[in-house]
Each structure stands twice: as structure tokens, then as C-alpha cells.
A = this chain, B = another copy of it.
Amino acid sequence: MNTLNVSEYVQTLGLQAKLASALMARADAATKNKALKALARRLRAAGAPLAEANAKDLARAEGAGLSAPMVDRLKLTPKVIETVAQGCEQLAAMSDVIGEVIGMKQQPSGIRVGQMRVPIGVFGMIYESRPNVTIEAASLAIKSGNAAILRGGSEAIESNKALARLVAESLEEAGLPVDAVQLVGTTDREAVGQLIAMPQFVDVIIPRGGKGLIERISRDARVPVIKHLDGNCHVYVDHTAELDMALKIVDNAKTQKYSPCNAAEGLLVASSIAETFLPEIGAIFAAKGVEMRCDPAAAQILRSEGAHLPADKVLDAVESDWSEEYLAAVISIKVVEGVDEAIAHINHYSSHHTDAIVTRDHMNAQRFLREVDSASVMVNASTRFADGFEFGLGAEIGISTDKFHARGPVGIEGLTSLKYVVLGQGEVRT
């Protein structure tokens, strides 16, 4: 396809999605759940056609010299398929949020005014490599009563096409419009440019991938973007913290897994307990091979003889360390005067994703919750909890580092809007 044709093709997908979205919006819960269960069944029974499509992608990826972890991400193993099938079933089992009416109250004029939750319309999902995202996005679209246009990575195009066929069959089986979930069938990059610039057809774009992709899409999009940028998360250990709890939380937030966006990248410690706390957490970090990038006060404590730490694990932090999202066995450490300095440091350097305080002091806990300007703020819990499933949302579309519309982990509600409903008995304005 040439650029003009790609653009026309994506606009056609947009129009079809818009038309399908009206039918999806009024589909009842039972019908949507039927499609989700059909999809789970068809995924498990997919067999050879899906395996062959996936094999083509894998062969192409290996031929192109992609790294082993990159190739691994493309693999639709029986385990991966079972996981997404179960995801569909879990969504089917969830209660339906569409049609929920909240806040209905009588006004002085006599009219009753409330808000009804309705699907947002059409969302576009742009993602890389992992083909299982195709099923996650499709199942979220079905459950939320939206239409979706999916643009997966070119390296997974055959797998994605095979999966999209299963989705279409499941929609058809349930009596829903097959255009409710459409895969962009071309790997031409122009398609992304068109997809993010059709406010007449697409209500929101959800990119999943590297920071570069997300920044590019946010910059060029003509529609709202639910975007997730950095996760530079902090734990602040207050002077009244229970030390055992603080050790457990800081250790977990940093080392339970290094790659998630909700892992801690910075540790702040109140000066009055730094001499006690830092050597203990330092020993845990050193034993796990975590490199500590320290401000002068923390470095002095961690380098003291009593701390018994290997010299190569305690480094001097430079200014850029306070802003960095390491996603690795590295943590920045700073001694602060108290909760004021901790809040100021976090609000200055944090990426406003997730930050936690460990404390027994009620006033400091309250101030931290109120004043730290992050999507998730926590008292006495690991930052690793910042997750749609741990927060009880039942599904996770993404995590938003924006303040507009959705903030923090985004569940099905992030794909809905609230419209006003007014019930009258003949009232008019005077």
C-alpha cells in the first residue's frame, strides 16, 4: 500500500469501528460475556493454524537476528495461551460496569440528576512484540462495550492476524459486530500516524511500549492518550518507622523484581535513624548485589567500618541519579531531615508514579498522603502494589502517569465515560 492507501485503509477501519461501537454500547452483559467465553474456548482449541502463524513470526525474528529474549516474547506457548484464555474468563466473570448510575439526586427544580457510566466509544491500542496483548486488548474492548482498533508490532503480525481471526469468530458467535475489534493489517508505520489523528472515529489511544514510542505518540496524537511514562518510585523511611517493617518494605520495593515500573528507585531516610537503618538495609542490598548511589551523608554511614559493606556497592550519587528509573539492581539513597524534605525531594525528582512512607506518625502519614503529588501514595506498604489487580480493579488497561481522566492503574472504568441523566416530570426552566 502507498501512503495514501494506508491512510484511507485506516480511516475505513475507523469508520467501521465507530459504527460497531454503537452496537457494542447497547450489547447486554450476557452477550459480551458469551463472546469472552467463546474466545477463551477458541484460544484453547486454536491448534495448528495459530501455531503455524506464530512459527512464521519466530522464524522471521530469528532470521532477522533478534535477541533471544525478544524472540521469547513473541512465543505463543501453551502456557501463554492458557493465561490469556483465563484472562477472558475472568473478565466474563466480572460484574458489568456499563449502565451503572451514580449520584442520582433531586435538585431544587424537582428534576433528578445523576450520571450513567457508558463506553467511551472507540479506543486505539498501539503495542510492540508480545502477541498476547492482542487478546488482552480485544477482551477489554468486549467487556467494556467499546470498539477497538489494534496496531501490534510488525514482528508479531502473523500471530496477531491469527488471534484477530479467533476474536472475530467469537464476536460473530455471540451476535456482536465483527468490526468491534479490528487489527491493522499492515505494518506500514504511516498507519500509526493516521490512527492517532482521527478524532472523528477514535476517542482515546493507549500506547504500550518503550518511553520513546509513548512520547512520540503523545506528541503527535490528535486524540487523548492514556500514557505511562517513567516509574521513578521512592520509599521514605520516617524517624518513627518500625525498623523491621521498613527493612521488609524497602527490600521488597527494590528487590522483589527489578524491571517493573512500580519498583523503588530511590530510598530516603530520616537523619535521626539513618545510622541504625542504613547499615541494615545496606547489608541486605549488598547481599543481593544491589548498587547503592548515595548522597554524602548516606555514603559516610554505609562506608563506615561498622557497616562491613563491599566498597564497590557504595557509590557517590550524581545529580542525575535522583531522577533515574534504573529498572535494575541499583538504588539511590539520600538522608533527609524529615518528612518536609522527603516530600520536597519526591515532588521535585519523582516521576509522580508511586511513592511510599514508612512511619508510625499519624500526622506525617497524613501529610505524605496529601502532599506527595503522585498517582499512588502509600503508607507502610511496598510500592510494588501499584497495580490494577492489587488495587482490586479486576483488569489493567495500563498505568497512567497523567492527571487527566485516569490516574494510576487504569481498569475498565478508564474506558468509560459518565454522561448526565435527568429524570423529570414535566419540569421547565423559569
Binding site for B on A (CB under 8 A): 22, 25-26, 99, 105, 107, 109, 111, 113, 116, 118, 120-121, 203-204, 219, 222, 224, 242, 245, 248-249, 251-253, 256, 347, 356, 369-371, 373-382, 384-386, 390-392, 403-405, 407-409, 417-430
Beyond the given pairs A256-B428, A376-B422, A380-B425, 10 more chain A to chain B contacts, judged by CB atoms under 8 angstroms and listed by A's residue number, are A22-B347, A251-B428, A256-B430, A378-B421, A382-B429, A385-B422, A385-B424, A385-B427, A407-B419, A408-B420
What 3 A-B pairs come out closest when comparing CB atoms?
Answer: A381-B424, A252-B428, A384-B429
A27 shortest CB reach to chain B, Å: 11
Q: Which residues of B lie under 8 Å from residue A404 when comparing CB positions? A: 120, 203-204, 224, 404-405, 417
Can you pick out 16 interface pairs between chain A and chain B where the beta carbons lie within 8 Å of each other?
A: A26-B371, A118-B373, A121-B403, A204-B404, A219-B222, A224-B405, A248-B426, A249-B428, A376-B419, A378-B421, A380-B423, A380-B426, A381-B422, A390-B429, A405-B405, A407-B417
For A421, give its contact among B252, B253, B377 (CB under 8 Å).
Answer: B377
Chain B nearest CB from A211 CB (Å) reads 15
Residues of B within 8 A of A222 (CB): 219
Q: Report yes or no: B403 in contact with A409, Cβ–Cβ below 8 A.
A: no
Interface pair B428/A382, CB less than 8 Å apart? yes
Point out the residues of chain B lying under 8 angstroms from A386, CB to CB. Answer: 420, 422
Known: A121-B403, A377-B421, A420-B376. A105 touches B392 (CB 8 A): yes
A152 → chain B closest CB, angstroms: 24
Residues of B within 8 A of A409 (CB): 420
Residues of B contacting A113 in the complex (Cβ-Cβ under 8 angstroms): 390-392
In the complex the two chains form, what is the Cα distance from A418 to B426 in whole Å?
A: 36
> With a CB–CB cut-off of 8 A, which chain B residues contact A99?
370
Residues of B within 8 A of A373 (CB): 22, 25, 118, 121, 419
Q: Kindly provide the distance from the CB of A247 to the nearest chain B CB, expressed in whole angstroms.
A: 10
Which of B252, B405, B422, B428 interacts with A379 by CB under 8 Å? B422
Q: State the CA gap A317–B248 with chains docked (Å).
A: 73
Cβ–Cβ contact B121 & A427, under 8 A: no
CB distance from A28 to the nearest CB of B (A): 10
**Which label, helix, strand, loop or mixed, suits the secondary structure of the A interface?**
mixed
Q: Which chain B residues border A391 with CB–CB below 8 Å? A: 107, 113, 420, 422
Residues of B within 8 A of A405 (CB): 224, 404-405
CB closest chain-B residue, reference A219: B222
Query: In whole angstroms, how far apart are the Cα atoms of A424 and B245 in the complex?
Result: 11
CB contacts (< 8 Å) of A422 on chain B: these are 356, 376-379, 381, 385-386, 391
* A251 to B371 CA separation, bound complex (whole angstroms): 51
Task: Report the copy number of this chain in the oligomer.
Answer: 2
* Chain B residues with CB below 8 A from A356, complex form: 422
Interface centre among A375, A419, A422, A430 (most CB of B within 10 A): A422
Closest B residue to A262 by beta carbon equals B429
Q: Which of B369, B384, B427 contacts A428 (CB 8 A)?
A: B384
- Cβ–Cβ contact B385 & A111, under 8 A: yes
- Tell me whether B419 and A256 are in contact (CB under 8 A): no
Complex partner residue of A107 from B242, B256, B390, CB under 8 angstroms: B390
The distance in angstroms between the C-alpha atoms of A427 and B224, with both chains bound, is: 35
Q: Which residues of B contact A419 (CB under 8 A)?
A: 373-377, 407-408
Q: Which residues of B contact A224 (CB under 8 A)?
A: 224, 404-405
Expressed in whole angstroms, the Cα–Cα distance for A421 and B354 within the complex equals 10
Among A369, A380, A429, which residue has the most Cβ atoms of chain B within 10 A? A429
Question: Once bound together, how far apart are the Cα atoms of A62 and B419, in whole Å?
Answer: 43
Return chain B residues, CB-CB under 8 Å to A25.
Answer: 371, 373
Bound: A384/B408 CA distance, A: 36
How long is the Cα–Cα vector from A428 to B263 in the complex, in angstroms?
12
Contact check, B116 vs A381: say whether CB atoms are below 8 A apart: no
Residues from chain B with Cβ under 8 Å of A379 in the complex: 422-424
